[in-house]
């Protein structure tokens, strides 16, 4: 069995970037279909960063998905910098003309975007196997995949590769067409979640002889709710 679908934009990847792009396109009256290789539950189980800058907050509002963020997120108008054993507060709101940051988990942003897409009955294919992109540099690009045993072809005007560094879209572009700008640092992040009272009501950045650290609050539960507890996304 096979199926052919025509859409304006084929979005590969249903993480925050793909879902947000789909929502913005929907608000602009542009058709888009999202294809994701894993399940919605798997996407929601990936815990990522939880501090949103002002430009992201504004973009979520523009997309019409910012209500719960404003209701449940923690607004920070500044932060502390700790060095030499002394904390120094930086009044970011005053110094930037009113900009803030919002402590709101990326998983919750994904929840909100999934809910908005489901409420608008927009097509999203989770657990799409063997996703491939073709002719992306022509006037007639297409995406093919298998969903629930059926071969599907998306004919579109544009393909948006929102499937990350290791995704099929980046791997499909000839290496000579990609120009990389990269700086590799000799260290990485170690994140620890602590179910304890807040250390401080704003972010604390620490520079110490033992290295760099960041202390922040998490307004959401440490374990995300299952996607089964949410309205189902449209699975065509």
DSSP secondary structure of 4-37 = EEE-SEEEE--SHHHHHHHHHHHHTT--EEEE-S
Residue 35 has pLDDT above 90, yes or no: yes
Residue 145 has pLDDT above 70, yes or no: yes
pLDDT at 221: 53
For residue 192, tell me if it sits in a domain: yes
pLDDT band at 236 (very low <50, low <70, confident <90, very high): very low
- Percentage of the chain beyond pLDDT 70 is 92
Residue 225 has pLDDT above 50, yes or no: no
Domain count, the chain: 1
For residue 178, tell me if it sits in a domain: no
Here the CATH number for the domain that contains residue 8 is 3.50.50.60
pLDDT tens per residue, range 69-110: 999 999 999 999 999 989 999 999 999 999 999 999 899 999
Cα 220–chain centre separation:
16
**Higher pLDDT residue, 66 or 216?**
66
For residue 179, tell me if it sits in a domain: no
Range of the domain at 97: 2-171+184-229
For residue 189, tell me if it sits in a domain: yes
Check: CB of residue 155 under 8 Å from CB of residue 191: no
Question: Average pLDDT for residues 48-77, to the nearest whole number?
Answer: 94
For residue 46, tell me if it sits in a domain: yes
For residue 133, tell me if it sits in a domain: yes
pLDDT at 13: 97
Check: CB of residue 15 under 8 Å from CB of residue 167: no
Long-range contacts, stretch 185-188, CB < 8 angstroms, 24+ apart: 187/211
For residue 177, tell me if it sits in a domain: no
pLDDT band at 235 (very low <50, low <70, confident <90, very high): very low
Residue 122 has pLDDT above 70, yes or no: yes
Residue 37 has pLDDT above 70, yes or no: yes
Residue 134 has pLDDT above 50, yes or no: yes
Check: CB of residue 203 under 8 Å from CB of residue 80: yes
For residue 54, tell me if it sits in a domain: yes
**Bridge-based pairing state of the strands 9-12 and 158-161:** parallel
Measured distance CA(140)–CA(158) in Å, rounded: 8
Over the range 164-178, which residues count as b (16 or more CB within 10 Å of their CB) and which as e? eeebbbeeeeeeeee
**Bridge-based pairing state of the strands 142-147 and 129-134:** antiparallel
Strand boundaries in 36-114, DSSP class E:
51-53, 74-76, 79-83, 86-90, 101-103
pLDDT at 175: 83
């Amino acid at each position: 069995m096979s199926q052919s679908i025509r859409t304006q934009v084929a979005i590969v990847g249903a993480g925050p970037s793909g879902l947000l792009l789909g929502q913005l396109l929907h608000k602009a009256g542009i058709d888009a279909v999202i294809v994701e290789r894993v399940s919605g539950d798997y996407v929601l189980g990936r815990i990522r960063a939880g501090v949103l800058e002002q430009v992201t907050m504004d973009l979520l509002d523009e997309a019409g998905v910012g209500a719960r963020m404003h209701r449940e997120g923690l607004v920070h108008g500044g932060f502390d910098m700790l060095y030499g054993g002394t904390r120094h507060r930086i009044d970011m709101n005053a110094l930037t003309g009113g900009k803030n940051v919002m402590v709101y988990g990326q998983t919750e942003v994904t929840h909100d975007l999934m809910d908005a897409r489901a409420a608008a009955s927009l097509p999203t294919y989770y657990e799409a196997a063997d996703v491939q992109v073709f002719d992306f540099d022509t006037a007639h690009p297409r995406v093919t995949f298998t969903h629930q045993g059926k071969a599907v072809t998306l004919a579109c005007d544009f393909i948006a590769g929102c499937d990350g560094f290791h995704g099929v879209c980046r791997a499909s572009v000839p290496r000579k067409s990609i120009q990389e700008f990269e700086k590799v640092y000799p260290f990485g992040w170690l994140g620890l979640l602590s179910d304890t009272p807040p250390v401080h009501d704003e972010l604390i950045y620490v520079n110490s002889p033992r290295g760099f650290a960041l202390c922040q609050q998490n307004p959401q539960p440490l374990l995300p709710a299952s996607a089964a507890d949410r309205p189902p996304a449209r699975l065509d």
